[in-house]
Chain A
Amino acid sequence: MATDDVKLIGSWASVFVMRARIALHLKSISYEFLQETFGSKSELLLKSNPVHKKMPVLIHADKPVCESNIIVQYIDEAWTSSGPSILPSHPYDRAIARFWAAYIDDQWFISLRSILTAQGEEEKNAAIAQVEERTEILEKAFIDCSKGKPFFNGDHIGYLDIALGSFLGWWRVVELDANHKFLDETKAPSLAKWAERFCDDPAVKPIMPEITKLAEFARKLFPKPQA
């Protein structure tokens, strides 16, 4: 595929953009990465995603695809012959993967984000407790889905690994900010090991943002109130 056939509108810091990038890397697809400037939205972004005006947007042969999980499924289906399958092959396993991906976005991510936006210690502690609870649920989900294999998807990273794994940089930033470890060998042993394997994967390693850079960006995005 020609490079100019595939464009991705996004940002190095965005979890959701990262999902699309991992999928493109898994399939060895060359693409032009069009990075948005922080604080403004490009004309191309607004034109390609008029409904939500958000990144990521994948533009394939001038046709836009929006929403990270939808983009990942599109990449899997449009390039079936290249690289490994991203979605599991069995319909029931696909339903389970989709269920947990939705849970991650609708429930788990919301509570993680609440830690960064919390006003005061009480709110922060409540958010931390909720993330602990939901992480425990994901730990069990990992054990059920992986069935003893290294990833949610089995032997290779797949849809659900990408859905959760893309959060790992930000998750570390939140841990540092809250001074609280979630991905702990005692609290979430399977997830902790999975996280290491995920970050080491050749499709992930080159694009996982540096934690210090991300933490600096987080301070810009979630400024602390002046004391």
Chain B
Amino acid sequence: MANEVILLDFWPSMFGMRTRIALREKGVEFEYREEDLRNKSPLLLQMNPIHKKIPVLIHNGKPVNESVIQVQYIDEVWSHKNPILPSDPYQRAQARFWADFIDKKLYEAQRKVWATKGEEQEAGKKDFIEILKTLESELGDKPYFGGDDFGYVDIALIGFYTWFPAYEKFANFSTESEVPKLIAWVRKCLQRESVAKSLPDPEKVTEFVSELRKKFVPE
């Protein structure tokens, strides 16, 4: 049976970026379909009826939802090259832990940075920087979160980088000064073809976030 892979996505989504990177790491041919989140396609609603969210990975007509679940699925189905999760069970548990940390903590904190103002934004900024510092400390001196090889946690985190200039613009701080080692890691990841091809231009993301911010923080 031919492998038919469709990805329903939205270009600035840091979650969609994870799945794009994973597919490219494995050399999987896929059809990228841009969703208009204000007018969701019938296919999206049919394939993700519970959450109605992107990204949705459709493999031979069957949907896989949730970006971290998609990345693990891609790793397990196309296991012949570029392993995403390490083989050692303990290392795998650590990788899952940090991806879960990113989902539980980073997403909420970054949202406060661009979608709020005043005291709420200041508190959000403080949390956000602290979380980045925790991640930077976990990275340590390793080239990637998992060690020598690019993998699961790197994939989980790297997409957020495209939103950094937007955070910096609206909350007035510099990620480079706060977490220089993390920014060095970002640059290393960007040299990887799968990442470079999957990430949008941060300037375009900033434009997008500026528009979005107007809905939450009327000037």
Our verdict on whether A and B bind, yes or no, reads yes
**A: which residues have CB within 8 A of B?**
51, 60, 63, 65-67, 70-71, 73-74, 77-78, 91-92, 94-95, 98-99, 102-103, 137
Residue contact B90 to A95, C-beta cutoff 8 Å: no
**Nearest chain A CB to B105's CB is how many angstroms away?**
9
Question: What are 30 A-B residue pairs whose CB atoms fall within 8 Å in the complex?
Answer: A51-B134, A60-B90, A63-B90, A65-B93, A65-B97, A66-B97, A67-B97, A70-B96, A70-B100, A71-B93, A73-B93, A74-B89, A74-B90, A74-B92, A77-B92, A91-B77, A92-B59, A92-B62, A92-B73, A94-B73, A94-B76, A95-B64, A95-B69, A95-B70, A98-B66, A98-B69, A99-B66, A102-B69, A103-B50, A137-B50
B101 sits at the interface (CB 8 A): yes
| Residues on the A chain within 8 Å of B76, using CB | 91, 94
Is there a chain A Cβ closer than 8 Å to B65's Cβ?
Answer: yes
- Return chain A residues, CB-CB under 8 Å to B93: 65, 70-71, 73-74
Contact with A along B88-115 (1 / 0, CB 8 A): 0110110011001100000000000000
Do A95 and B97 contact each other (CB < 8 Å), given the known contacts A74-B89, A103-B50? no
Residues of A within 8 A of B62 (CB): 92
Q: In the complex the two chains form, what is the Cα distance from A98 to B64 in whole Å?
A: 10
Question: Does any Cβ of A come within 8 Å of B13's Cβ?
Answer: no
Q: How far apart are B72's CB and chain A's nearest CB, in angstroms?
A: 7
Q: Of B50, B72, B77, B92, which contacts A98 at CB under 8 A?
A: B72
A91 touches B50 (CB 8 A): no
List the B side residues contacting A70 at CB < 8 Å: 93, 96-97, 100
Check B100 against A67 for contact (C-beta < 8 Å).
Answer: yes
Complex: how many Å from CA A147 to CA B97?
31
Q: Which residues of A contact B64 (CB under 8 A)?
A: 92, 95, 99
* Complex Cα–Cα for A127 and B100 (A): 26
Chain A proximity mask over B48-62: 1 for CB below 8 Å, otherwise 0: 001000000001001
Interfacial chain B residues near A71, Cβ < 8 Å: 93
- By the criterion CB–CB under 8 Å, are B73 and A67 in contact? no
Cβ of B117 to closest chain A Cβ, rounded Å:
27
How far, in Å, is B161 (CB) from chain A's closest CB? 22
**Chain A residues near B101 (CB, 8 Å)?**
51
Closest A-chain residue to B74, C-beta based? A91
Which residue in chain A gives the minimum CB-CB distance to B79?
A91
A78 to B93: give the CA distance in the assembly, Å. 10
B44 to chain A, nearest CB (A): 16
Nearest 3 pairs of A and B residues by beta carbon: A77-B89, A91-B76, A74-B93
Tell me the smallest distance from the CB of B168 to a CB of chain A, in Å: 25
Would you call A73 and B96 a contact (CB within 8 A)?
A: yes
Distance between Cα atoms of A214 and B108 in the complex (Å): 33
Nearest chain B CB to A15 CB, angstrom units: 17
Contacts of A66 in B (CB 8 A): 97
Q: A51 vs B138: C-alpha distance in the bound complex, in angstroms?
A: 11
Contact among A65, A67, A102 for B90, CB-based, below 8 A: A65
Asked whether A95 lies within 8 Å of B96 as measured between CB atoms, the reply is no
Q: What's the Cα separation between A103 and B66 when bound, in Å?
A: 10
12 other contacts beyond A67-B96, A95-B73, with CB at 8 A cut-off? Answer: A65-B93, A65-B97, A66-B97, A71-B93, A74-B92, A74-B93, A78-B89, A92-B73, A95-B72, A98-B66, A99-B65, A99-B69
C-alpha spacing A137/B50, complex, angstroms: 9
Measured CB to CB, the nearest residue on chain B to A91 is B76
**Residue of chain B at shortest CB distance from A97:** B69
Complex interface: chain B residues within 8 A of A67 (CB):
96-97, 100
Whole-angstrom distance between the alpha carbons of A78 and B72 in the complex?
18
- Which residue in chain A gives the minimum CB-CB distance to B76? A91
Which residue of chain B is the closest to A63 with respect to CB atoms?
B90
Asked if B69 and A78 sit within 8 Å, CB to CB, the answer is no
Find chain A residues with CB under 8 A from B69 CB.
95, 98-99, 102
Complex Cα distance A77/B97, Å?
A: 15
- Give the CA-CA distance A99 to B97 in the complex, in Å: 17
Set of chain B residues within 8 Å of A51, measured between Cβ atoms: 101, 134
Q: Name, among B50, B70, B93, B96, the residue most crowded by chain A CB atoms within 10 Å (CB to CB).
A: B93
A215 → chain B closest CB, angstroms: 30
